[in-house]
Amino acid sequence: YITAITANRRQPHRQYRNWPRCNLSMKTKVGVVGLPNVGKSTLFNALSRQSIAAAENYPFCTIEPNTSPIAMPDDGRLERLAVMAGSRRAVSATLELVDVAGLVKGASRGEGLGNKFLATIRECDVILHVIRTYVDDDIVHVHGRVDPVGDADVVNLELLLADLAHVQRRLDRRTCNGIERDVLSKVEECLVEGRPARTLGLSLEEGQSIKSMGLLTLKPVIYAFNVDEVDLLLDREESLQRAKESMGRIQYCDPEKDSFVLVSAKLEADIGELSENETAKYFESLGSDGLPDNLLSHNSVPKLVKDMLGLSLVYTGPGVPASRSQTTKSHLLGQPAMRAHDFAGRLHGDIQSGFMQAEVIDSASLLEGEGYAGAKSAGRLRTEGREYTLQDGDVILIKWK
């Protein structure tokens, strides 16, 4: 194996490790959220490059959440490193995508599928908020009109109200004391003013004290503007401007941290079913010569998630089991980046306890040169100790006894 791993610092407590009924999945989850029938399942299928989720033209098509792993794109580094290392398999780091049921006005009070799907979003680490901007009279819009900013406001307000109710319920309890009470009071004030909790910029300690609440408005948000295929292909600049302008008008958001991406879920779903030849013809019929790679959602969205969460890809191998190639949550807690010694623990307890030193080189310079042995004889490998902080794209070989 050669494996790409996103760094984490924590292991579940030994006592819980094999406890089947406890959800201790440490994968980073991306929740696809939005009004009914806006294209969430279509985008989910495009991102997972499979047709897992039913995506039909009627609201509440999705009820039970669908989940699928999505690979972290890395500009082909993993594949090239695997060839260089002569690995039989290359295992990419993944994120877990969760396709949630549509949300409607009043969801925080239990309307629509209400609380059930809110619980699903609580378990996610990032929200991918799908907004319909394409116009198609045949596709039902629950409000009967296409209104990206209005739609986003409805969803954001529901998330905010759900958090407010959740926080107030907790504050009513006598067991809520000390730092937890202080932080929740601060959050309550912020929510009452119509600002999501993430605008507070809580410290690490403050964040930890209310972590178990799984507050929805504390999660980073990426807005996915689901545009018409022609707009994406031929009017990209204009669509981008329109999306930027909409971002400026969305309420109950964090104008500084929230980010956005343009997608055309329908276009990607369509081309996913065509052969290469048919795809070329399809683009020709739309007056375009193709879709640049960086516009495909499975390239753009995970990259954005990676940047927003500050995840880093680290390569290791051989001998590391594929199951270790998981993207984990601990980065999200704002902890300092991972050190070589923590990383060794991620691979195996014995490797951590026997840690001697690490040989490190960044993948770009390794791929430029003549293989690992070549890099070593040219003196380009660094020897680092246990305190070394891993950088994005590092290739690391840990020596242990």
Is the Cβ–Cβ distance between 27 and 95 less than 8 Å? yes
Where does this chain touch ligand ATP (CB under 6 A) — which range of 39-47, 106-114, 368-376, 393-401?
39-47
Q: Which does 60 bind (CB under 5 to 8 A by kind): ligand ATP, Mg ion, none?
A: ligand ATP
Using DSSP, state whether 128 is helix, strand or coil. strand
8's contact among Mg ion, ligand ATP, none, with CB below 5 to 8 A by partner kind, is none
Interaction between residue 55 and ligand ATP (CB under 6 A)? yes
> Is 42 an interacting residue with respect to ligand ATP (CB under 6 A)?
yes
Q: Cα–Cα distance between 150 and 123 in angstroms, integer?
A: 26
Angle, to 10 degrees, between the axis of helix 276-285 and the axis of helix 265-272? Answer: 140
Q: Does 61 bind ligand ATP (CB under 6 A)?
A: yes
| Residues 6 or more apart whose Cβ sits within 8 Å of residue 368 | none
Q: Which of residues 46-85 bind Mg ion (CB under 5 A)?
A: 61-62
Is the Cβ of residue 41 or residue 316 nearer to Mg ion in the bound state? 41
- Rounded (10°) angle between helices 40-48 and 265-272: 50
Q: Which of 36, 65, 112, 302 binds ligand ATP (CB under 6 A)?
A: 36
Of 7, 39, 67, nearest in space to 266 by CA: 39
Quick check: 265 binds ligand ATP (CB under 6 A)? Answer: yes
293 binds ligand ATP (CB under 6 A): no
Min. distance of Cβ 220 from Mg ion in angstroms? 22
266 binds ligand ATP (CB under 6 A): yes
Q: Mask: binding to ligand ATP, 322-341, rule CB under 6 A, as x and -?
A: --------------------
Separation CA 163–CA 184 (nearest Å):
11
Residues 6+ apart with CB under 8 A from 293: 299
Are the C-beta atoms of residues 34 and 129 closer than 8 Å to each other?
A: yes
CB of 59 vs ligand ATP, minimal distance in Å: 5
Q: Which of 16, 22, 24, 60 touches ligand ATP by CB under 6 A?
A: 60
Both tokens of residue 203?
Answer: 């410290």
Q: Least distance (Å) from Mg ion to the CB of residue 62? A: 3
Stretch that binds Mg ion, among 33-41, 128-136, 196-204, 380-388 (CB under 5 A): 33-41
Cis previous bond, 318, omega within 30 = yes
Which of ligand ATP, Mg ion, none does 6 bind, CB closer than 5 to 8 A by kind? none
- The size of the chain, in residues, is 401
Residue type, 32: V
Neighbours of 183 (CB within 10 A): 22
Chain residue whose CB lies nearest ligand ATP: 102
For residue 60, list its beta bridge partners. Answer: none
Q: Which is nearer to ligand ATP, 19 or 60 (CB)?
A: 60
Contact string (CB under 6 A) for ligand ATP, positions 212-251, x = contact: --------------x-x-----------------------
What residue ranges in 266-393 does DSSP mark as E strands? 313-316, 355-362, 382-384
List CB contacts of 147: < 8 A, sequence separation 6 or more. Answer: none
Question: With binding defined as CB under 6 A, does residue 102 bind ligand ATP?
Answer: yes
Residue 37 interaction partner, one of ligand ATP, Mg ion, none, beta carbon < 5-8 Å per kind: ligand ATP
Does 62 bind ligand ATP (CB under 6 A)? Our answer is yes
Given the complex with ligand ATP, which of 111 and 136 has the nearer CB atom? 136
DSSP 133: -
Cβ atoms of residues 147 and 251 within 8 Å: no
- Interface with ligand ATP: number of residues (CB under 6 A): 24
Task: Tell me 390's DSSP state.
Answer: P
Which residues between 163 and 192 bind ligand ATP (CB under 6 A)? none
How many beta carbons lie within 10 A of that of residue 371, not counting itself?
A: 13
- Give the footprint of ligand ATP on this chain (CB under 6 A): 34, 36-42, 55-57, 59-62, 102, 134, 136, 139, 226, 228, 264-266
